[in-house]
């Protein structure tokens, strides 16, 4: 397990970018908990950031559900989703395998 950050450093309503297996990734902390996805838009591979309640691709504006990773708007294929990354939260530590 590799520690990415701590719960204290990732307050609710925030995200944190990191690299996982040499690819961009994002941690999301909201009312539903903490999750991680590869941060690669399913349209043309741009990175996403939290805009309002959704993740939005910085290249062309596709939006994704931050809980499921499912595409919410084009130009991303609507049957696509961001790939989840398994995480573990133990005490204050947030780690990935």
- Longest CA–CA separation in the chain, Å: 39
Name which of 63, 7, 3 is nearest 33 in CA terms.
7
pLDDT (tens digit, 9 = 90+) per residue, 76-89?
999 999 999 999 99
Give the separation between CA 97 and CA 93, rounded to whole angstroms.
13
User: How far is residue 49's CA from residue 2's CA, in Å, rounded to a whole number?
Assistant: 23
- For the segment 28-43, what is each residue's pLDDT rounded down to a tens digit? 999 999 999 999 999 9
For the chain, percent of residues with pLDDT exceeding 90: 93
Is pTM beyond 0.85 here? Answer: yes
Pairing of strands 14-20, 2-6: unpaired
């Amino acid at each position: 397990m590799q520690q990415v950050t701590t719960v204290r450093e990732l307050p609710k309503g925030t995200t944190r970018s990191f690299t996982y297996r040499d690819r961009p990734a994002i941690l999301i902390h909201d009312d539903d908990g903490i999750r991680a996805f590869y941060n690669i838009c399913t349209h043309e591979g741009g990175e996403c950031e939290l805009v309002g309640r959704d993740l939005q691709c910085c290249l062309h504006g596709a939006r994704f559900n931050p809980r499921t990773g499912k595409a919410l708007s084009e130009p991303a294929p609507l049957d696509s989703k961001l790939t989840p990354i398994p995480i573990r939260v133990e005490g204050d530590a947030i780690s990935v395998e």
